[in-house]
Amino acid sequence: MDLRQLAALTAVADHQSFSAAARALHTVQSNVSTHVARLERELGTPLVDRASGSLTDAGELVVARARRVQAELEALASDVASSLGEISGQLRLGVIGTTGRWLTPILLRALTEAHPKVRIVLVDATTTSLLPQLASGQLDLAVVNLPVNHPDIEAEPLFEEDHVVVAPLGHLLARRTRVRLDELAGVPMLLEPHGTGFRDDLEADAARAGVALVAQAEIDGMRLLASLAFQGFGAAILPASAVQRGSDDTWRAIPLDGCTPRAVGLAVHRRSRLSAAARATRDVLCEVILAEAPRRPGFRLVPASS
């Protein structure tokens, strides 16, 4: 077993075919097929279903461990470079969309200035998508909604943010300066689906207020949900970070009272040691949050020890 075999199998898993894996690895398909076949002979079982291009159960197990091996090797190189006085290496950071929209430009500038040889790969996705990637080793860090309930992941809080209602001009809510959650009873709203952290927390607050929320539509993805509200498709309940600054000529953002603030935190794998590049990125990210959060309406810093 060698690293080329593991890399080939992981590429097949990521790209769902031998030909696409070969393109990603900048090689020919026969090389990928040979590496995977040798690994299968060594382990004594098929790892890829040739008809569909998907992994077998054994293949899934091998890829899960291969990702951890690859991450450790990248961390090793980063740590050695750091011990020689220069932090370098690749870092994979996942970010929820509403936070990423304002955070990533500032973070990238600060990271480039502090550690120019750290290469960052950004993944924009929902918390429900980011957590499995973090647990499997595909990500080093992830900025996600809290709380996180996963046995392999731990998280520290970064900030809290209030809820707002974004309503198009002409909507009955657009004339309000503040709205209470109990005043939304019977008002159709654009909402995330049940099972997402933001919606579940919102429903818990609504139940305590004796309110049954009515969904005009359910959209899985906060950034798309916000976009629909900004374009006038309906009123939406959003976190403060989803509100676009300086673009309120067709909609209004109204503070929503009666909701538990959304908590956002930084998640890591519980049993993996962060590379020097990941540790440096974590530190820069926390510095950016410390400087930026107090300047943003509806945001509050949360001490890590709380």
In terms of Cβ atoms closer than 10 Å to its own Cβ (0-12, 13-18, 19+), residue 84 is exposed
Kindly report the CATH number that applies to the domain delimited by 163-260. 3.40.190.10
Query: Which of 146, 81, 51, 129 shows the shortest CA–CA distance to 278?
Result: 81
How many CA within 13 A on the CB side of residue 245?
8
Reported as a single tens digit per residue, the pLDDT across 144-191 is: 999 898 999 999 999 999 999 999 998 999 999 999 999 999 999 999
Give the C-alpha separation, 290 to 277, whole Å.
20
Question: Could you check whether 87-160+263-301 and 163-260 share the same CATH topology?
Answer: yes
Give the C-alpha separation, 73 to 71, whole Å.
5
Domain ranges of the chain: 3-66, 87-160+263-301, 163-260
Reported as a single tens digit per residue, the pLDDT across 79-97 is: 776 666 678 888 899 999 8
Examine the pLDDT at 306 and tell me if it is beyond 50: no
Reported as a single tens digit per residue, the pLDDT across 34-81 is: 988 888 888 899 898 888 878 888 988 888 888 777 777 776 766 776
Q: Which fold has domain 87-160+263-301?
A: D-Maltodextrin-Binding Protein; domain 2 (3.40.190)
Helices 29-43 and 57-83 pack at an angle, to 10 degrees, of 110
End-to-end CA gap in the chain: 46
Q: Confidence class of residue 104 from pLDDT cuts 50, 70 and 90?
A: very high
What is the pLDDT, as a whole number, of residue 78?
A: 64
Q: What is the pTM of this model?
A: 0.72
How many CA within 13 A on the CB side of residue 150?
24
Q: Which fold has domain 3-66?
A: Arc Repressor Mutant, subunit A (1.10.10)
Instruction: Quickly list H helices, 214-298.
Output: 222-230, 276-292
Angle, vertex CA 8, rays to CA 7 and CA 9, nearest 5: 95
Reported as a single tens digit per residue, the pLDDT across 107-142 is: 999 999 999 989 999 999 988 899 999 998 889 999
Mean pLDDT of the chain: 88
